[in-house]
Every structure is written in structure tokens, then in C-alpha cells.
Amino acid sequence: MRIPLNRSAQEPIYLQIRDRIKHLITSGSLQAGEQLPSIRALAESVQVNKLTVIEAYSVLEADGLVEAKQGAGYFVTNFVTDNVNFSERSSTLEPAQEVVIPSKWGESFIDQYMSSIQAQLDPDVIDFTSGFPRPSGLEDLARISRRAMTQVADVLFSYDAPQGQFTLRKQLAQMLAWKLGLEVSADNLIITNGSKQALSLAFQYYLQAGDWAIVESPTYHGAIAILEKMGIKVIGIPMQKDGMNLELLHQYLRSHQPKLIYTVSTLHNPTGITTSQAHRRELISLAEKYNCPILEDNAYEGLNFQPAPPPLKVLDSSDLVTYIGTFSKTLMPGLRVGYMVSSGKHYQSLVEIKLLHDLHVSTVTQAIASEYIASGHYRRHLNHLRSINHQRHDLMLQSMEQYFPSTVRWTVPNGGLFIWVQLPNSTPLQLVSQQAATQKVLIGSGKVFFPDGQGYPALRLNFSQSLENIERGICLLGDILKQNI
């Protein structure tokens, strides 16, 4: 392989190697499945250190262009080919919905969360209801955690700053800029106990009991539950195939002067929908017109199979958007490390609320996340996760096509963890759910995601299961649906 290098150029050598190999792959000179030269061979032929080649291969791996096979070396991936299969399917979702202003609240997020925690204890249960990712890369995590813990004696022992450790905030700022085009600095970041805490803090900052707030309908039930407890009056704007209905949003911004719009713009929970750049632009311009802050929850950041449009925060020139992310879905939910990005006058107020709440996130868990990023494992791990999730996502869709009645509709998300299934209106969902539970398949009910617990009959199916469980569970569920629809 010929890799011309310009040793006096500003661009680091490993990136020059990456660019050349990327060019060979995208131009078709290197084909899917073809093996790259070994690290040693390439280092000798281009006369660089082996570490430089490792770094170049790691970046290619993180970009999804090559994959490492244990003991065999690096190979060009089938990633591009996989995406072609993926994009052939498209969402069939077609709900007829109206705006929801709940007078009573829906089923409890707390009950559903507790039953998913319980379900984890029984290895025979297939739990399609939870939002939990499947464990992966645990050996690396254990090793990296031990390394991070060695700092306890010096830097990690003491109380720390409420906004979180500078190193982690700086790494996050770099990652957000590099991956999402979100140009922020460490001084815009606050590390939180998961993104759930970031949600609570932002809701507390922007809202008071009796205020109106806009949410998508359906939306993340954990957010609905906090708003309910705070005594917030919620307006649920219907989610269509391409995101929240902006005409209705406009109408309610005008009529109710809400104090906040809560949105999951990428890999929405529960529908998996990612809004387009045009939708994002329009949403921002409406928010600006009515001076209404936006809370952008990007909990599934990094789990998209194909690039998503830049977050709303990138389009924000008036400090209206607070952005939220987390390591829960990509690295480890038990770590409880999330973050928020805020700008302008809001930042310091949010830091103070965080301080009053619990001082700061554990220094140890922050150090683990930081070490994970610094070691280069995070990029590789994300890539691996995307590839196994993609396989599971495709299998779930294939199995649904094969086993579900033809009247059932669903979304085809570009990543994340969920497929949202719309059932015919006559479906006796409670009965279906009970029958599935007797066979150890948990499906719950999509009602929890609607602000008033009503909505249309639907299911949120989590595809982060083993391939075997996906096929078996969907086949079983298909039989039950056919008996009841």
C-alpha cells in the first residue's frame, strides 16, 4: 500500500495515514472484507512509529471504515453495504393524534422502572420494555476503572467543583465539537448524575408550579414524571413521522406562552425518530420568535448508524437551548455520568442549582469516564456498539415483518435502542401484555409515554437483546398479536 506522507505538513502523520486509507476505501481501491497491512508492516513501509499506525487504524475504526478482528488484524468493514439494506426500509407510522393537555396523569414511570429492575434478576425473561442497554466491553471497563482509581490518593480524594472535573469537561467539549459540530468550551459544561439529573436541574431552573411546558407526545416518560411532581401544566404536541407537529407547536406557543420546550431531537425516546435539519431550523426559529427556551435531550447521542443533523444547540444564537447528554446508553448506566451544555447567563445559575442539589458527581466515576475517553477506548467501543446494535435492529425489523400481523405499523430508527410499534385501535393491549408476560416476554404498554397515559395503542420495543431473544420474543409476541387483533 502506497501512503505518501508530508512530514513537514501541520496535519499529524496519523491523520495523513487515515485520510489516505479512507480515500482508498471510499474510491473502491480497498474492498469490504479486505485486510489492511499489519501494524508492523505498515509502520516499516512508511517509516513511522507503530503507535502512529495504531492511532490511524483506531480513528478509521471509530469512523466505521475498518474493524479489528482479534488476532487477525484490521479489515475493511461492510458498514456501507449494511446501510444500504437499512435505508431500504422506512417508517410506516401513521397515528391520528390531537394535542394532549392532561387533566389526569398517565401510568407511573416509577412502576415501569422498578419492574425492569426486577426483570433483570430473572435470566429467562425477555424484557422489551426497559430502556436499559446490554452490557458490553466490561473487561476494558474494569481495567480502565482500576487505572482511574489509582488517582484516589491525590486528585480524587476531596470534595470537588459542582460543574465537574476540568479534564472530563474539556474532553467532552472536544468530543461534542468533533462529533456533532457543537463548538463549546469546558466552561459551558456541567457534569451531572446521569442525564436524568440534568433534566431535573433544568426543569427546576426554567419552570415553576403552574407554568406551561411543551413536550412531544409521546415522549420520555421519565421527563413526564418529573414535570408531574413539579406541578407543571403540560402540552403534548403530537409526534408525526418526521417529529413534533410544528404547526401545532406554533399555535400553542402563541396561545399559552409556555416557559419551556422539551424535545428529544435525535433518536427520540420512545419513537426513535431523528428530526431533519429543516425541522430543527424551524423549531429554533419558532423558539426565538416566542423567546421560549428549549431543553434538548440527546440521551442516545453516538448511537446513530448514519450521521444525524447537528443538534439544535448548534443553531442556537440566543442562548435559548440547554443540551443534555449521557454516558448511560453508550458506556454504562450504573456509572451515572451525564452532562449538560449551557451558555450565557444560564450557566452559572445551573451550576449553583447543581451545587445546592448534591455538591458534585462522584470524582471516581468522572475519572473513569475521563480515562475511558483518554485511552481511545470510547471511540472503539462506540463503533462496536453501533455495529452490534445495527445487527439487532435489523433482526428485530426482519422478525416483525415475518411474525407480526400486517395491520401493525412501526418506525425504522437510525440507531438508538427502540422501535416504536403502532397497533390497530381495537388491540386489547392489556390482555396482549398479560399473555406475553405469562411466557416471560415483557412488553408493557406504550401508554406511559403519553402525557395523559392515553394515546393510541403502541409498544416501545428495546432491541438491545441477544439475537436469539429478539427472534424468539418477536415470534411469540407475533402469535399473541395474531390471536388478539
Ligand X SMILES: Cc1ncc(COP(=O)(O)O)c(C=O)c1O
Pair type for strands 409-410 and 441-442: unpaired
Rounded least distance, CB 393 to ligand X, Å: 16
Q: Considering only residues 79, 206, 220, 403, which one is a binding residue for ligand X as defined by CB under 6 A?
A: 220
The residue sitting closest to ligand X, measured at its beta carbon, is: 194
Pairing of strands 189-192, 458-462: unpaired
What is the C-alpha separation between 86 and 463, in angstroms, rounded?
15
Minimum distance, C-beta of residue 257 to ligand X, in the bound complex (Å): 25
Among 195, 263, 399, 427, binds ligand X (CB under 6 A): 195
Q: Which stretch binds ligand X (CB under 6 A): 69-77, 174-182, 193-201, 246-254?
A: 193-201
Q: Considering only 70-78, 191-199, 227-235, 245-253, which stretch makes contact with ligand X by CB under 6 A?
A: 191-199
| One residue of 22, 196, 360, 393 binding ligand X per CB under 6 A | 196
C-alpha 362 chain-centroid distance: 23
333 binds ligand X (CB under 6 A): yes
CB 189 within 8 A of CB 163: yes
Residue 344 φ/ψ region, left for φ over 0, alpha for ψ in the -120 to 50 degree band, beta for the rest: left
Query: Is 470 among the residues that bind ligand X (CB under 6 A)?
Result: no
Choice between 220 and 404, CB closer to ligand X:
220
Peptide bond into 309 cis (omega under 30): no
Q: Does 116 bind ligand X (CB under 6 A)?
A: no
Q: How many CA atoms are closer than 13 Å to the CA of 167, on its beta-carbon side?
A: 16
Q: Are 469 and 442 in contact (CB under 8 A)?
A: no
**311 counts as binding ligand X under rule CB under 6 A:** no
Question: Is the CB of 37 or the CB of 416 nearer to ligand X?
Answer: 416
Torsion angle, alpha carbons of 309, 315, 319, 320, to 10: -70
Pick the binder of ligand X from 188, 263, 265, 326 (CB under 6 A): 326
- Alpha-carbon distance of 474 to 207, in angstroms, equals 41
Minimum CB distance to ligand X smaller for 67 or for 107: 107
Q: Angle at Cα 329 formed by Cα 325 and Cα 332, nearest 5°?
A: 110
Smallest distance from the beta carbon of 156 to ligand X, in angstroms? 22
By CB under 6 A, how many residues form the interface with ligand X?
A: 15
338 contributes a contact to ligand X by CB under 6 A: yes
Output 17 or 417, the one with its CB closest to ligand X.
Answer: 417
Q: In angstroms, what is the minimal distance from the CB of 39 to ligand X? A: 36
Smaller CB distance to ligand X: residue 220 or 347? 220
Shortest distance, position 53 Cβ to ligand X, whole Å: 36
Closer to ligand X by Cβ: residue 435 or 462 = 462
Residue 95 CA from chain centroid, whole number: 24
Cis peptide before 4 (omega within 30 of 0): no
Q: Which is nearer to ligand X, 55 or 216 (CB)?
A: 216
The verdict on 267 binding ligand X (CB under 6 A) reads no
Q: What minimum distance in Å lies between the beta carbon of 270 and ligand X?
A: 8
Binding ligand X by CB under 6 A: which of 216, 297, 316, 371? 297
The length of the chain in residues reads: 485
299 binds ligand X (CB under 6 A): yes
Helix, strand, or coil (residue 66): strand
Q: Which stretch binds ligand X (CB under 6 A): 22-30, 188-196, 384-392, 436-444?
A: 188-196
Concatenated DSSP letters of 234-291: EEEEEEETTEE-HHHHHHHHHHH--SEEEE--SS-TTT-----HHHHHHHHHHHHHTT
C-alpha cell belonging to residue 109: 414511570
Closest CB to ligand X among residues 141, 299: 299
CB closer to ligand X, 131 vs 413: 131
- What is the Cα–Cα distance from 194 to 326, expressed in whole angstroms? 6
Which x/- pattern, by CB under 6 A, does the window 129-158 give for ligand X? --x---------------------------
Q: Which three cell numbers stand for residue 444?
A: 408493557
Site for ligand X in 375-414 (CB under 6 A): none
| Of 3 and 299, CB closest to ligand X | 299
Q: How far apart are CA 24 and CA 21, in angstroms?
A: 5
Q: Which of 42, 76, 264, 321 binds ligand X (CB under 6 A)?
A: 264
Over its C-alpha atoms, the chain yields an Rg (Å, rounded) of 23
Residue closer to ligand X (CB basis): 66 or 299: 299
CB-CB contact of 53 with 39 (8 Å): yes
331 counts as binding ligand X under rule CB under 6 A: no
292-324 burial: b if 16+ Cβ within 10 Å, else e:
bbbbbbbbbbbbbbeebbebbbbbbeeebbbbb
* Strand 338-341, strand 189-192: pairing: antiparallel
Using CB under 6 A, list all residues that contact ligand X: 131, 194-196, 199, 220, 222, 264, 269, 297, 299, 326, 328, 333, 338
